[in-house]
Amino acid sequence: MPAASDFRALERQNRRETVMLVSGFIIVFLLIGGAFDLFAGTIQIRNGHLYGAPVFMGLALIFAVVQSLVSYFAGAPLILSSVHGQPLTPDTPKHQMVLNVIQEMAVAARLPVPKAYCIPDSAPNAFATGRNPEHSIICVTQGLIDNMDREELQGVIGHEMSHIADYDIRTMMMVAVLVGGIAMLSDFMIRASFFSSMDGDSDRKDGGIAAILMILLAVVAPFLSQLIAMAVSREREYLADASSVEFTRNPRALLRALQRIAETESPLKEGVRGTAHLFIVNPLAANADDEGGFFANLLSTHPPLGKRIARLQAMLAAPAAAAPVSERA
């Protein structure tokens, strides 16, 4: 399989990115803990020397490591519960068909069959997550099941299967859960700095600097985390689109699915801000990305739907270039 080695290269890249993400996460927490230590006076800088015990840094380290472990081993169920996903059972013919299509695409991708989940929402969308192909899940919305025919479903599931094959799911899962952690902590810090400034105990100079640093972190952290989420997901969508075509040998499948999604434009109702980058199309507003502009581009988790459709149309026009190996490297 020409693409197998490419998947392995992408897997290695994803491994690197996950390691970088987790170490970055731990470093950010250490910095925040250090700021707390300075602010609370548990460590002090005198004549260029450090005194005291970095209690908060230690706590932050423990928290960051635990949070990373939880993200890795329990990320998928956490994400599923945050989007209200339920196990998909073959109770209706259409559900049976979805389960069958998942099995078919697993065969095409030579992967174990992922567990299937369903979000009771009428907006057509889907995502895959998990720490590896053996522990992967594919989650589709009821809207996707209702609106797509078999061919279109194959295109969408093929796209998700490619995210599983190259371990995008693991990176994306870690981003989702760790980003959630950063957002939580920065909220907490905004509150903490608000209360401590009411104490009137801000005459110490280093304490003042630490407070500013904390506020800065509190403001920057969510933005930073959002930036990470966006940076790691856009190129992946193009790659997964291309691999979906490789699996189905049919550019029309995903093309028709994306066109149908473009027609519906109904954002997901459930709170998905932290998990938006997991989905096949932006669940916040499927078409919003199309307005373009530099900032819209920078701040979006997905490439514009129009551009993805155009690329698939190009593949349809030139079947020989359906899966350009060079593009996957």
Partner 1 sequence: MTILLIVVVALVVYVIAAYNSLVSAKNQVDNSWRQIDVQLKRRHDLIPNLVEAVKGYMNFERDTLTQVVEARSKAVSAPDQATRMAAENQITAGMGKLLAVMENYPQLKSDQSVMQLQEELTTTENQIAFSRQAYNDAVLSLNTKIEKFPGNIIASNFGFKGAEYFKAAPEDSAVPKVDLGLTPRA
For the CB of residue 104, give the shortest distance to partner 1 in the complex, in Å.
5
Closest CA to 86 of 270, 233, 265, 260: 270
Q: Interface residues for partner 1 in 93-152 (CB under 8 A)? A: 93, 96-97, 100-101, 103-105, 107-108, 110, 150
For the CB of residue 46, give the shortest distance to partner 1 in the complex, in Å.
55
Using left for φ > 0, alpha for ψ between -120 and 50, and beta otherwise, residue 292 falls in left
User: Catalytic annotation on 160?
Assistant: yes
- Contact predicate 264/143, CB 8 Å: yes
Q: Interface residues for partner 1 in 147-186 (CB under 8 A)? A: 150
For the CB of residue 325, give the shortest distance to partner 1 in the complex, in Å.
13
Catalytic residue among 104, 152, 160, 246: 160
For the CB of residue 69, give the shortest distance to partner 1 in the complex, in Å.
31
CB closer to partner 1 out of 5 and 23: 5
For the CB of residue 320, give the shortest distance to partner 1 in the complex, in Å.
16
Q: Interface residues for partner 1 in 248-287 (CB under 8 A)? A: 249
In sign, the C-alpha dihedral spanning 119, 121, 124, 125 is negative
CB closer to partner 1 out of 2 and 200: 2
Q: Interface residues for partner 1 in 37-96 (CB under 8 A)? A: 93, 96
CB closer to partner 1 out of 189 and 240: 240
Applying CB under 8 A, the site for partner 1 has a residue count of: 18
- Contact predicate 251/315, CB 8 Å: yes
Per-position x/- string for 1-40, each x denoting binding to partner 1 as judged by CB under 8 A, each - no binding = xxxx------------------------------------
CA distances from 323 to 34, 120, 178, 240, 253 (A): 49, 34, 33, 11, 15
Which residues are identified as catalytic? 160
Positions touching partner 1 (CB under 8 A) are 1-4, 93, 96-97, 100-101, 103-105, 107-108, 110, 150, 247, 249
